[in-house]
Amino acid sequence: MENFIYSIPTTAYFGKGQINILGDTIKAHGGSKVLLAYGGGSIKQNGIYGAILDQLAQAGLAHVELSGIQPNPRVESVEEGIEIYRTNGCDFILAVGGGSTLDACKVIAAGVKYDGPVNDLFRGGPGADLKAAAPLATVLTMAGTGSEMDMGAVITVGKDHKKKVLMHPLVNPKFSILDPEYTYTVPEYHSMAGVADILCHLMEQYFTPESGANVQDRMNEGFMKSVLEEAPKILANPEDYDARANIMWASSMALAGFQLLLGKPMSAFPLHSMGHELSSKYDMTHGVTLALLTPAWMRHTMASAPAYLPLFARFARNVMDLREEDDAKAAEAGVQKLEAFYGAIKMPASLREAGVREEDLDLIAGKAVEDGNVGILTPLGKDEVLQILRAAF
Ligand code: NZQ
Ligand code: ZN
């Protein structure tokens, strides 16, 4: 196991009614004028907005608003938020929503402390090594991305809608309120896309070269099994509290401090690197892109690097509960069972079914490797990514 640092600077307030700590806790973190940011308005329909305004008022906190942050959030929303924050002399940011709103707010938090274009702040840019960020808290309304407990943000930039990543511990939220009841109103499609996203975060950290990190992998297997067990309960009853609670906590734990990747080699998260390009091209829902690509990526890896068959067989046995002695057979059966799960949670079965055009595959493959090889178990350059896209098509 390699050396590592483990740090999760975000406090989680988990469960029913935790909104009641919001106002006082913002004040305890020095907030007096809050930039309240949200998405397309779901929080106004399900009562969350009213609860937040009550909390801000009770604590005597002034606020201004940024609304309309879209899924696959655009850099223009970030720029608008920075402008509102500065013009109104804000000192705290409150993000209320799913990963898109949270991510936009993380970049706003970095941007208000940076004297230069937002674009500088993304990975590889001159401002990526942040010196400061405004304090940020979140009220999560949809489980999936893990943004509520992590240091990442993904923003869509430019005419070609490139998804760019900001990654820095200074944008970890100070605290996050995680009330599973707030996710009851998430539409089925987005609930299940969130499930696919959580599962993929877990798999991206599980399918890595042997490192001796058995504790991390055993924890990961437990998380993956729980997600597989709990998701169908949400389909059957969107107001199943414990199912929503387990999925919400799995979302937060999957990426918190990258705890399941600790002691392992760094990964470019190959499925995410490829999936982001589908979102860029077609504005496709993040979790759906991952469900579409995962089986094809698994088969590609198993075929091109048979040395990893035991790892895929371990997944089949320990996560998918398959009893097959032969590694190759077990590995393939595991992929098939995963495909059946994606079908059961109503993910599209192929890129074609999801609206991808065959003539775009070459371009998408090229963009996925723009910053270099994205493989972890095997090298993934343009040719290999194209093979995976074709298989998923
Ligand atoms: O905008 P509103 O009206 O709120 O509606 C949203 C949106 O339409 C709706 N929704 C959310 N909570 C709801 C609700 N509708 C009813 N009731 C509720 N309680 O759900 C829709 C999707 O929301 P969005 O925030 O886009 O979804 P998600 O949480 O999946 O976020 C996706 C974004 O996060 C990025 C993705 O790339 C994508 O841009 N990611 C961020 C990561 C991170 N920060 O670490 C990691 C991930 O891998 C991912 O890349
Ligand atoms: Zn993801």
Domain boundaries, the chain: 11-182, 198-392
* Ligand 1 pocket residue status of 180, Cβ below 6 Å: no
Ligand nearest to the CA of 140: 1
CA of 89 to the centre of ligand 2 (A): 33
CA of 97 to the centre of ligand 2 (A): 16
Phi, psi (deg, nearest 5) at residue 151: -110, 20
Query: What pLDDT is attached to residue 251?
Result: 98
* Ligand 1 pocket residue status of 168, Cβ below 6 Å: no
Low-confidence ranges of the chain (pLDDT < 50): none
3-state secondary structure of 373: coil
Containing H/E element for 62?
A: strand 62-66
Alpha helices in the chain (DSSP H): 22-28, 42-45, 48-58, 75-87, 99-111, 188-206, 214-236, 241-255, 270-282, 286-304, 309-318, 327-344, 361-368, 382-392
Query: What pLDDT is attached to residue 18?
Result: 98
CA of 61 to the centre of ligand 2 (A): 34
Q: Nearest C-alpha to atom 31 of ligand 1 is from which residue?
A: 99
Q: Nearest C-alpha to atom 39 of ligand 1 is from which residue?
A: 72
Pocket test for ligand 1, best of 72, 102, 122, 154 (most atoms within 8 A of CB): 154
Q: Which of 128, 143, 124 is nearest to 12 (CA)?
A: 143
Query: What pLDDT is attached to residue 200?
Result: 98
CA of 253 to the centre of ligand 2 (A): 13
3-state secondary structure of 212: coil
Query: What pLDDT is attached to residue 27?
Result: 98
Ligand nearest to the CA of 69: 1
Query: What pLDDT is attached to residue 385?
Result: 98
Is CATH 3.30.1370.100 the classification given to domain 11-182? no
DSSP 10: P
pLDDT tens by residue, 301-329:
999 999 999 999 999 999 999 999 999 99
pTM score, whole prediction: 0.97
Query: What pLDDT is attached to residue 295?
Result: 98
Query: What pLDDT is attached to residue 153?
Result: 98
* Tokens encoding 116: 């230069």
pLDDT tens by residue, 318-372:
999 999 999 999 999 999 999 999 999 999 999 999 999 999 999 999 999 998 9
Q: Nearest C-alpha to atom 8 of ligand 1 is from which residue?
A: 71
Pocket test for ligand 1, best of 69, 77, 96, 100 (most atoms within 8 A of CB): 100
Whether the Cβ atoms of residue 262 and residue 353 lie closer than 8 Å to each other: no
Kindly report the CATH number that applies to the domain delimited by 198-392.
1.20.1090.10
